[in-house]
Amino acid sequence: MRRYAVVGKPVRHSHSPWLHRHFARRTQREITYAALCPATTFAACCDAFFAGGGSGLNITLPYKGEALAYAQHASAFAQKCGAANVLKREANGELRAYNTDGSGLLRDLQHRCGGVAGKTVLLLGAGGSARAAAHALAAAQPAHLWLHNRTYTRAQELAAACGGTAHGTPPAGAQIVINATSAGHADGITLPAEIFAAAELAYDLSYGAAAADFMQQAQRGGARHTADGSGMLAWQAAFSFAIWEGVLPGAQEVARLLRQPAAPR
Ligand code: NDP
């Protein structure tokens, strides 16, 4: 039986064990999936897991950067993002790092609004997940990719890296507005209502209560549709599963379950 796990700190809140056990049942794969919180270092935790025969890991905060450095090889996309959320042990024992956050986001945007090609997209934030989002969005050929971040220099750096345009204040006129800040986990972020006036979709990478304030501001500002990041979460897990097990499970059903008030874990 192949062994997988998610590594993070904290990790108790993670939906990944439930998601992957669900995918395994659906695809009739025999796997185990655990949640690991390093007692000492990230590397020591991974060393022990792979020495014990583990096949692959998901990586969550705060270890996505360390995961990239830990692997011997990395996908081009993970290298661009400077972060990995998937490690896979290859047949020769070497580890390869991947980042499925970007493909998870694009897949959910495809489902929600037909994708970003030819559209103007405003991305808020320039942290780890914004980096993955920006590189994935840029590759999906939007008409314009506008970036705004509280710390402007980080937006400039990200714009230079992915080919977008940095804005000191969030501009109006985007058809898709994406919140990739972590503000919803703290005091929130107050945005100018006009940035939502032309939006067909306002999307928050956060999910559950952390996305509520952004989605309410978007609705008040005139966004036609709003969504939280539960679909992205489900699809990044499905793409991880595909890397390990060679089969891509459907993730729409689990995304719907994750949106319920008492989401399964
Ligand atoms: P980081 O800590 O790497 O980045 C945080 C970002 O939020 C920075 O750009 C920071 O700006 C900005 N920020 C934080 N507080 C505020 C504030 N009060 N006002 C304005 N901007 C603020 O976080 P991540 O990128 O890892 O995560 C961001 C969000 O994405 C989280 O809510 C996380 O849950 C979610 N996420 C969802 C995933 C999914 O699958 N749906 C996957 C990964 C993440 P500054 O640079 O100025 O500090």
Q: Is 129 in the pocket of ligand 1 (CB under 6 A)?
A: yes
Instruction: Identify whether 9 is a catalytic site residue.
Output: no
Tell me which of 85, 100, 181, 191 to substitute to probe ligand 1's pocket, judged by most ligand atoms within 8 Å of the beta carbon.
181
What pLDDT is recorded for position 37? 98
For residue 126 and ligand 1, the question of a CB distance below 6 A is answered with yes
pLDDT at 261 over 90: no
Q: What would the mean pLDDT of 182-187 be, rounded to a whole number?
A: 93
Distance 125 CA to ligand 1 centre (A): 6
pLDDT above 90: residue 259: no
Cβ atoms of 91 and 41 closer than 8 Å: no
Whether residue 54 has pLDDT greater than 80: yes
Tens digit of each residue's pLDDT (9 = 90 or more) over 72-84: 999 999 999 999 9
Half-sphere exposure at residue 140, Cβ-oriented, CA atoms within 13 angstroms: 22
Work out the pLDDT band at 260, boundaries 50, 70, 90: confident
Mutation probe of ligand 1 site: the residue of 60, 122, 182 with most atoms within 8 A of C-beta: 182
Query: Ligand 1 center to residue 21 CA distance, Å?
Result: 28
Nearest CA to ligand 1 atom 4: 127
pLDDT on residue 192: 98
Ligand 1 centroid, distance to 59 Cα (angstroms): 16
**pTM here?**
0.96
Average pLDDT value for the chain: 96
Q: 140-161, pLDDT tens digit by residue?
A: 999 999 999 999 999 999 999 9
pLDDT of residue 60: 96
Instruction: Give a three-class secondary structure readout of the chain.
Output: CEEEEEECCCCCCCCHHHHHHHHHHHHCCCEEEEEECCCCCHHHHHHHHHHCCCCEEEECCCCHHHHHHHCCEECHHHHHHCCCCEEEECCCCCEEEECCHHHHHHHHHHHHHCCCCCCEEEEECCCHHHHHHHHHHHHCCCCEEEEECCCHHHHHHHHHHHCCEECCCCCCCCCEEEECCCHHHCCCCCCCHHHHCCCCEEEECCCCHHHHHHHHHHHHHCCCEEECCHHHHHHHHHHHHHHHHCCCCCCHHHHHHHCCCCCCC
